[in-house]
Amino acid sequence: MTSFTAIDFETANGSRASACSIAAVTMDEEGTILAERADLLRPPAGLDSFHPMNISIHGIHPCDVAGAPGWEEVVADYLAMIGDGPVVAHNMAFDFSVWNGLARQLGTPTLDSPRLCTYRTAQSVLGWPRGTMKLDQVFRHYFPAETFSHHRADADALACARILVAELGDAGVTLDWLIDHYALTGAPVRRHAVASRRSR
C-alpha cells in the first residue's frame, strides 16, 4: 500500500453530527499529492445552529453554508477518494465520531477503513507526552519554517498528511508497517514501539 487519505472536519456546535466543513487529501508515502477536495457543508436539520465558540475556532458562519451541500450529497465522493486505502486524521477519535455521527443521523455510510491517528503516532515516534501533540505543534516540529491556517479543514488535512509522511521518514518505516502496527481497525493491533522497529 503506498497511499492514504487524510481528512479533517469542522463542526457547527457540540454535536458530532453538525459538520460544517470537510477536506481530504490523498497522498502517497513519498509526499506526492494525488487528490484534494474540500467542501463547506450544510449541517443536518435540527443540528444546524452555530455556537459562538465553534465560530471563533474555524470562522465559518451560518451564511457561509446556506447554499452548501449536505453530507449525504458528497459522502460518495469522499469514499471514492479513500478507496481501499487507510484514512488518517490528527485526533482521529474526533473525525471518526463526526463521520459516524453523520451516518447515524442521515443514514449515510459509516467509515470502515483502517484508520491512523497522527496524534497517536507522534506519541510513538516522537515520544512526546500527552497534551503536547496538537496538530500545529507537531507540524512546527517537522516544518519549523512554515505555517498553515489551523482550523481550516483543507489546511488541516494537508498538514496532517504531511506530518504522516514525515513520521514515516522519522521512524524509518513504511505505510504498510505503520498500518499493521498502529491501525485502529482491522486485525488486532500489535503495540510494538516504533523505536524498536527503527533499531533493527
Grid cell in block for residue 84: 481501499
**pLDDT tens per residue across span 26-71:** 999 999 999 999 999 999 999 999 999 999 999 999 999 999 999 9
**pLDDT tens per residue across span 166-177:** 999 998 999 999
Q: How high is the pLDDT of residue 124?
A: 80
Residue 19, pLDDT above cutoff 90 = yes
What is the average pLDDT across 138-158? 95
**pLDDT tens per residue across span 109-139:** 999 999 999 998 888 877 877 777 899 999 9
Q: Which of these, 137, 144, 79, lies nearest to 113 by C-alpha position?
A: 79
What does the alpha-carbon distance between residue 131 and residue 72 come to, in Å, rounded to a whole number? Answer: 34
Higher per-residue confidence, 42 vs 200: 42
Sign of CA dihedral 123, 120, 159, 166: positive
Phi, psi of 6 (to 5 degrees): -90, 140
Please, which residues have CB within 8 angstroms of residue 79's CB and are 6 or more apart in sequence?
109
Provide the whole-model pTM. 0.90
Phi, psi of 136 (to 5 degrees): -70, -30
**pLDDT tens per residue across span 71-117:** 999 999 999 999 999 999 999 999 999 999 999 999 999 999 999 99
Per-residue pLDDT band for 1 (boundaries 50, 70, 90) equals low
Residue 191, pLDDT above cutoff 50 = no
Residue 186, pLDDT above cutoff 70 = no
Per-residue pLDDT band for 188 (boundaries 50, 70, 90) equals very low
Domain boundaries, the chain: 3-198
**Which residues pair with residue 6 across a beta bridge?**
25, 88
3-class SS letters over 138-151: HHHHHCCCCCCCCC
What does the alpha-carbon distance between residue 164 and residue 43 come to, in Å, rounded to a whole number? Answer: 29
What does the alpha-carbon distance between residue 155 and residue 46 come to, in Å, rounded to a whole number? Answer: 28
Q: How high is the pLDDT of residue 27?
A: 98
Residue 24, pLDDT above cutoff 50 = yes
Residue 87 host element (H or E): strand 87-89
Query: Which CATH number applies to 3-198?
Result: 3.30.420.10
